[in-house]
A and B are shown apart, each in its own frame.
Chain A
Amino acid sequence: MAVLRPLDKLPGLNSAALLLVGSDEELQQKLAEAILQEKRDFKISIHIATSLPLPSERDHLRPRIDLIVFVIDIKSKCSLKNVEASLAYVDATFFLGKVCFLVTGVGRVNCCSIETNAICKLGEAYCSPMLFCELELEGVRVSTAQRLLRMLQICAGLVPGFSALSFSLLMRNSADD
């Protein structure tokens, strides 16, 4: 099954799975470790991939993915191309709040090779929130980890009365203001 679908597996009990897709594995590893440091009351597993589709050999071992975070490095055009290519392998229903774009590298303004315009258009086209951060700074990494953890909790349905779709609508309305 090459395309990722949000509801094709049964959810685990009190657990959530996050998928990070991006070309820089080391940075994603650091982000994953930061997320794991945070206090939470549910089980979490973080999957790190460089691109989609995910290798099919491990399909049966993989839990249901609750949130996909596409990591784009603003210093590398390669990472944007990689993410754009991977987006084709995500089912449309995922974009109802279970996808988020994380743009890193904004701390190094001199080294930007992607225009923010292009990225914002991408976020709008896929109706998904766009977070800007600098993962190389520890403080920002920790706060980004906190945000992602909270989003993951909502997307996994672990926050009663609040669904991924309502959260994404909330984010969009506040962004437009």
Chain B
Amino acid sequence: MDETVAEYIRRTVLKIPRDEIKMMLQKWDFLSEAQLQTVNFHQIKDNISQEVVQLCEENSADIKQAAVLDIIYNHIYQNKRIWSVYQMRKTGEELEYFDLTDFKKKFKRRLRSALKNVTITFREYEDNAIWIRVAWGTPYRQPNQYKPSYVVYHSQTPYVFISASVLRSNLPLLCQALIVASNYHEIREMELRSHSLNSLKDIVFKRYSQNFQTYCPKPLQGRTVEPESVDLRIIHENKSEKERIQRLNQEAFGNGPQPILQFAQYKLETMFKSSPEMDVLDKKEPFRCLVKFSSPHLLESLKSLAPAGMADAPLSPLLTCITQKARNYFRIREKKGLFPDSFVSP
């Protein structure tokens, strides 16, 4: 077995928390049950990884199998990476039958024709998701297995989720290969990024609980029974205001759990507006400013701003439109044009 493969497997095993190593190796299905029984999973991880590498040596693992183990790890720990969403478009509306083998063949062929040294691995999961791992090399160097890109593609949808490696120069090539393999014509990056892959899927597949405009003449009286612990000596004077805020929040954010996003970024390219006496800028050019909101769970925290008294309800539509517009990176210009799109065709 190759030295580099052994080292790669050892490092991958070291990344896995000790309690989960056995489960992941079983999922990997490369080492037999009998072999796994011989490993002591209660010792320190260094030793466990050495034993695993030994067993892989016996089975003559190559880089292809090692890559599968890496996909398994990244599938379970998908939230450690940042995912961007890309949307593909095709002219013409015919729904073609999706052939997985055909897809894989075309994808590999396209990538390999441009770059000889790549490692491409596929793995399918039950929710119709195809995970693709690509390790990039150059014409003169072997692929760097430690900085691969991951692509998650749901074949019945035009969306692709990409977690690019640091080497962004390979992104156009990856996009091209995806369009060619899936029979689309264009691909563009949606301005939507997050650590939580499932939340991104929820947003673009519209699986979050949307608020439909139903005509409600007065708020539903479901809550007339107060909880037992209400003290009659404490009187809330602004109950109707509280209810108004609740209602506005519900309209803006819906009832269910919010998708998990970590950032919202607004790039302002607007003119600085000040009173005429404060002539701050001599030349009238747009004032460049970047506003970034960050939080472990941005939408929940936005939702709780008004009830906590930290902002007025209703919140600015720039904040509440995030899930509906499926983007969290905005560019705000002067009134004329909004949110430009840009498509990249091969």
User: Which residues on A are within 8 Å of B, measured CB to CB?
Assistant: 22-26, 29, 32-33, 36, 44-51, 54-55, 58, 76, 78-79, 82
Contacts and interface: CB of A to CB of B under 8 A. Distances in A.
Interface in B217-268: 231, 233-238, 240-242
B242 A25 contact: yes
A87 B32 CA distance: 76
A111 to B, nearest CB: 12
A36 B237 contact: no
A65 to B, nearest CB: 11
Contacts of B310: 23-24, 76, 78-79
Nearest to B308: A24
Contact of A50 (B231, B235, B238): B238
A107 to B, nearest CB: 17
A132 to B, nearest CB: 19
A18 B236 CA distance: 12
A78 B309 CA distance: 8
Nearest to A43: B233
A36 B231 CA distance: 9
A129 to B, nearest CB: 23
A55 to B, nearest CB: 6
A36 B234 contact: yes
Given A24-B308, A76-B310, A49 B231 contact: no
A36 B235 CA distance: 13
Interface residues of B, number: 16
B235 A79 contact: no
A50 B310 CA distance: 11
A74 to B, nearest CB: 13
A51 B237 CA distance: 9
Interface in B311-338: 311-312
The A interface, classified by DSSP as helix, strand, loop or mixed, is mixed
A46 B233 contact: yes
Contacts of A55: 237-238, 240
A55 B242 CA distance: 13
5 contacts: A23-B309, A32-B231, A47-B234, A50-B238, A79-B310
B234 A33 contact: yes
B311 A78 contact: yes
A33 B308 contact: no
A14 to B, nearest CB: 14
Contacts of B241: 50
A22 B234 CA distance: 15
User: Sorted from nearest, which 3 A-B pairs have the closest CB atoms?
Assistant: A23-B309, A49-B237, A50-B238
Contact of B237 (A29, A54, A82): A54
A124 B158 CA distance: 64
A46 B238 CA distance: 13
A76 B332 CA distance: 26
A152 B309 CA distance: 26
Nearest to B229: A33
Given A25-B242, A55-B240, A47 B235 contact: yes
Given A25-B242, A55-B240, A46 B309 contact: no
Contact of B231 (A22, A24, A33): A33
Given A50-B241, A55-B240, A24 B309 contact: yes
Given A33-B231, A36-B231, A22 B309 contact: yes
